[in-house]
A = this chain, B = another copy of it.
């Protein structure tokens, strides 16, 4: 982040006034051929315009017109493993970045890589979700919006997130277990089915479908790019007008 120092603003203001007044003097001189009067006019202009520029700024500061309030939002992708969360959330993030709003991407895997042993039991997952809620809330305090993708299989933890953050937009990526299994390039479903992975949502642990999702996308029928357009449109309509 860069900050404009007070000195820089002052020097910049003076340099502009020199350019502007010199221009006026040259114009007046060209029209009337009297350098003395042209300089006198330029001097008066300098004093007057400094005062007028100040007044102009003060008046505009009181006008709210054309000022757009940006409310931080939280886009929350939920769905079974391999339902398409990371893929779609990544693309949505790239699109929203183009709007030049402060934005952060949070993905389950990235955080579990940094903090191993978070655990997958109901209790551990719920605690994890509360911490993610706290993280999002802290970012929102600083005007940063979020694009978050987490399996988040339990209603109570999604509810906890909703209660902690502002402008929560749940995107439920619907995909039946069989489709997800077919996409299983990571081999995680196979492991879960063999019993090598415990608490695996959709296999040996529940995935409780969201009942209040703002956006529901059936990823067995909808192409990735189409899903991205739908979600970005929703955000633009509701939060970044």
Contact = CB atoms under 8 A, between A and B. Distances in A.
Interface size class of A (residues with CB under 8 A): 35 or more
B141 A68 contact: no
Contacts of A118: 127
A220 interface: no
Contacts of A167: none
Given A8-B66, A142-B102, A45 B32 contact: no
B2 A70 contact: yes
Given A15-B56, A24-B24, A135-B138, A7 B130 contact: no
Interface stretch (A47-55, A169-177, A200-208, A229-237): A47-55
B2 A69 contact: yes
A166 to B, nearest CB: 12
A27 interface: yes
Contacts of A2: 67-70
B142 A67 contact: no
B12 A60 contact: yes
A193 interface: no
- Assembly of this chain: how many copies? 2
A45 B24 contact: yes
A48 B23 contact: yes
Interface stretch (A88-96, A109-117, A183-191): A109-117
A218 to B, nearest CB: 32
A65 B12 CA distance: 11
A181 B114 CA distance: 36
A5 interface: yes
A4 to B, nearest CB: 7
Contacts of A12: 60, 66
A37 to B, nearest CB: 5
A104 interface: yes
Contacts of A32: 31-32, 37
